[in-house]
Amino acid sequence: MNRPNTKAHRLAALFVLGALLFNFPLLALFNHPALIGGVPILYLYAFVAWALLIGLLALVIERT
């Protein structure tokens, strides 16, 4: 019996997650003139979401 390719499924799910995280409705939620630590909220959200995706991709790819 063939085992489904779970790595490919997880990578596809991460792609969908990335598309949702960087889509307009979520970006509009963080588009405020406020600052956190001197950094605009939208920029902080973008970099945190980007780092999260990179970390999750590393976990999926390096998993045996």
* Residue listed under structure tokens 């409705």: 25
25: containing domain? 6-62
- Distance from C-alpha of 5 to C-alpha of 38, rounded to nearest angstrom: 44
Answer whether residue 31 is part of any domain: yes
Per-residue model confidence (pLDDT) at position 2: 57
Total number of domains in the chain: 1
Answer whether residue 26 is part of any domain: yes
DSSP state of 48: H
- Distance from C-alpha of 19 to C-alpha of 49, rounded to nearest angstrom: 11
Q: What is the pTM of this model?
A: 0.86
Alpha helices in 1-64 (DSSP H): 6-21, 24-29, 41-62
Answer whether residue 1 is part of any domain: no
Token duo for residue 30: 């963080």
pLDDT digits (tens, 9 = 90+) for 22-40: 999 999 999 999 999 999 9
Answer whether residue 46 is part of any domain: yes
